[in-house]
Amino acid sequence: LPTIALVGRPNVGKSTLFNRLLRKKRALTHDMPGITRDRIYAEGHFEGVQYALIDTGGLVMESDNDSEEFQGDIFEQAREAIEEAHALILVVDGRAGLTPLDEQVAAYIRQSNKPILVLVNKVDGSELEAPALSEFHCLGFEVMPVSAEHGYNLMALREKVAQMAEDTGLKPEEEDDEAKGLKIAMLGRPNAGKSSMVNALTGEERVIVSDIAGTTRDSVDVTFESGGKIFTFVDTAGVRRRTNIKGSIERFSVIRALKSSSKADVTVMVIDAMGGLAKQDKRLLDFLIKEATPFIIAVNKIDLVSKAERAELRAGFERALRFANHVPVIYTSCISKSGLGGILPLAAKLKKECSLRVSTGQLNRIMKDVIEKHQPPIVKRRRAKFKYLTQADDEPPTFVFFINDERLIKPTYHRFLENKLRKILNVKIAPLNIVFRSTFR
């Protein structure tokens, strides 16, 4: 799929633009603002042209944006984006004008020789255009003004992005989703055991397709049958590449990982038990939780860990998942073949839970009692009043509580409602999105 990345310094509006450019394939309730999750990789389309977008802005975790480490992060993201994307959009702030950091990022991405568009955001009308734009022309790329917030020039931008996608000459892969069955992405650092796991799980099964000629070598899907069900490991090319050759270092890319994960129904994050939760694992884990990705953690190479160490390992994962304790953790070994049998059934269960749909009537009947029995606590002499509740989306299930004032809901009550919903709807391992919306908005 033609892939376009949004790069640039923080606060120029990358994420807003990203969301503006995407149209979700299907949503139960029409585009409710505030319900779209923060994504880093997503697919969009305009007039029949399909493309993928990367929002590198979402990759910055630090808020202290003066630190050197932070600036380093911006270049790290740009590097990842250059690797993964076919064209780049450098987003700048028309009100702030051209800054030294803009110039540095421009110089950095220029080396990639990929098509680059400079998008001047926060230009809210024609009177601002001429002076605001002229200084950006000196970067030497095509310049386009836009306002993500006010919608100015957005239509032209959509057309432009579609044009950039077409100019890559890449055709979207023919997706025969039905034939692929349940799609699973294997993520994790090099040497965690992803390929061993794919081999072990497909080795004894009938592999239906293991290579699709003509598609990019990066995205080889392996479709196989197990227990009468069809499964596909997506993007296994990266997974299968031998990485334990001396001297070869496979760089771990968060973008690539999230890209694979967004193509799949279910993600398996493979972690090397010996290495424990490294910084990169933590980072990926945070993204998977934040994006409400349906995933399983497989702690692999458990044959190398003694009984005593196992308890410690378990406790560590419990701590790391204390705000996402629905995420199932299994302990596996590709050598002694233990735990592997749990992966496919767990993936199937996760997918099933994610597809849950409940009618508005049923939901409101269920929750009325719950809320009456456990009223939300009083905040500043006010108490949240619930109007009604609806399911806005599935995969994963997303619920919207309409209330008088969303600020009256505190995290403990949010968790209480989530736990109740999980119990009543029997959702144990899937992520649940719960959103509170003030009705006065």
What residues make contact with ligand GDP under the rule CB under 6 A?
188, 190-196, 239, 243-244, 300-301, 303-304, 333-335
Number of Cβ within 10 Å of residue 37's Cβ equals 16
CB of 244 to ligand GDP, least distance (A): 5
Q: Which is nearer to ligand GDP, 273 or 347 (CB)?
A: 273
Tell me the CA distances in angstroms from 262 to 277, 293, 395, 429, one per residue in order.
22, 8, 11, 18
Checking phi first, is residue 48 left (phi over 0); if not, alpha (psi -120 to 50) or beta?
A: left
Helix, strand, coil shares of the chain as percentages rounded to 5?
40, 20, 40
Q: Which is nearer to ligand GDP, 188 or 294 (CB)?
A: 188
Q: Which is nearer to ligand GDP, 144 or 192 (CB)?
A: 192
CB of 239 to ligand GDP, least distance (A): 5
E-assigned strand segments in 146-181: none
CB of 278 to ligand GDP, least distance (A): 13
Q: Which residues contact 273 (CB under 8 A, 6 or more apart)?
A: 299, 300, 301, 302, 304, 305, 313, 331
Q: Which is nearer to ligand GDP, 333 or 391 (CB)?
A: 333
Number of Cβ within 10 Å of residue 126's Cβ equals 9
Quickly tell me which residue has 């939780």 as its tokens.
289
Q: Which is nearer to ligand GDP, 285 or 292 (CB)?
A: 285
Q: Which is nearer to ligand GDP, 188 or 431 (CB)?
A: 188
Taking the C-alpha atoms of residue 54 and residue 68, their distance in angstroms, rounded to an integer, is: 24
CB of 202 to ligand GDP, least distance (A): 13
CB of 24 to ligand GDP, least distance (A): 32
In the numeric block, which tokens belong to residue 168?
């890559």
CB of 201 to ligand GDP, least distance (A): 12
**Count of positions (residues) in the chain:** 441
Query: Please, what sign has the CA dihedral across residues 308, 310, 312, 315?
Result: negative
CB of 245 to ligand GDP, least distance (A): 10
In the numeric block, which tokens belong to residue 41?
């990789």
E-assigned strand segments in 284-370: 295-300, 329-331
Q: Which is nearer to ligand GDP, 304 or 378 (CB)?
A: 304
Q: Which is nearer to ligand GDP, 279 or 322 (CB)?
A: 279
Taking the C-alpha atoms of residue 97 and residue 186, their distance in angstroms, rounded to an integer, is: 43
CB of 1 to ligand GDP, least distance (A): 24
